[in-house]
Chain A
Amino acid sequence: AQSVTQPDIHITVSEGASLELRCNYSYGATPYLFWYVQSPGQGLQLLLKYFSGDTLVQGIKGFEAEFKRSQSSFNLRKPSVHWSDAAEYFCAVGARSDYKLSFGAGTTVTVRA
């Protein structure tokens, strides 16, 4: 069964500082990996996805993520955060042969001035 672990429940970062959110997955086959962002009271917005190919993936809003098969990780990064990046971030895993997405518990990001 596939599963996702986001080790950090809450991260506080200063505006303009860099951000890295960790994601570890468990899946037997080649996974499809996703990062979603959720603002309070809102649905999920896709930041970026990895299906195959280049392991460094660029997404929207200046985010990027790197797939490391040897570490079963798909960490999300942003070089310089903005106050509007304060939100909840979810890592998810899926697969070509499976229809559902399995989500981590999420990481809440707080941005301080």
Chain B
Amino acid sequence: DAGVTQSPTHLIKTRGQQVTLRCSPKSGHDTVSWYQQALGQGPQFIFQYYEEEERQRGNFPDRFSGHQFPNYSSELNVNALLLGDSALYLCASSWLAGNEQFFGPGTRLTVL
């Protein structure tokens, strides 16, 4: 049983560019959450998708947007990249709100 998968593993972008990160949830899971983990910090909640809609959002600007597809996979889009967006982006899946979340290995984004 494959766990949560994310692509790409690493990504380098320059300021002002746009980026798309992808996530496939664990088999049987229908909910995907995205987190940003800056260096030396704990993960911060960006948003959660369920039934192809954003169900809850953390304290992140509108430059951060997402999408969930009918097969439950998800994308995270970040526009107008800033240096401060450099971080590890983690995707987590679950099958019930408030239930345990299973994390993927993350995508390391570097903004130059």
* Interface residue ranges, A against B (CB under 8 Å): 4, 32, 34, 36, 41-46, 49, 90, 92, 94-106
Contact, CB under 8 Å: A97 / B42: no
Give 6 closest A-B pairs by Cβ, nearest first: A103-B42, A100-B45, A44-B103, A96-B98, A43-B105, A43-B103
A-B contact pairs, 21 of them (CB 8 A): A32-B98, A34-B100, A43-B90, A43-B103, A43-B106, A44-B90, A44-B92, A46-B102, A49-B100, A90-B43, A96-B97, A99-B50, A99-B97, A99-B98, A100-B56, A101-B92, A101-B101, A102-B45, A103-B44, A105-B40, A105-B41
Residues of A within 8 A of B40 (CB): 105
CA distance A92 to B98 in the complex (A): 12
Residues of B within 8 A of A42 (CB): 105-106
CA distance A46 to B99 in the complex (A): 12
Residues of B within 8 A of A105 (CB): 40-42
Proximity string of chain B (31-58) to chain A, C-beta cutoff 8 Å, 1 when within and 0 when not: 1010100001111110010100001101
Contact, CB under 8 Å: B43 / A103: yes
Contact, CB under 8 Å: B55 / A99: yes
CA distance A45 to B106 in the complex (A): 12
CA distance A56 to B33 in the complex (A): 28
CA distance A36 to B103 in the complex (A): 10
Q: From A41, A46, A97, A102, give the contact of B100 (CB < 8 A).
A: A46
- Name the interface residues of B55-105: CB closer than 8 Å to any CB of A: 55-56, 58, 90, 92, 97-98, 100-105
Chain A residue with the shortest CB-CB distance to B108: A41
Chain B residue with the shortest CB-CB distance to A95: B98
Contact, CB under 8 Å: A99 / B33: yes
Contact, CB under 8 Å: A45 / B103: yes
Residues of B within 8 A of A104 (CB): 42
Q: From A36, A49, A100, A103, give the contact of B48 (CB < 8 A).
A: A100
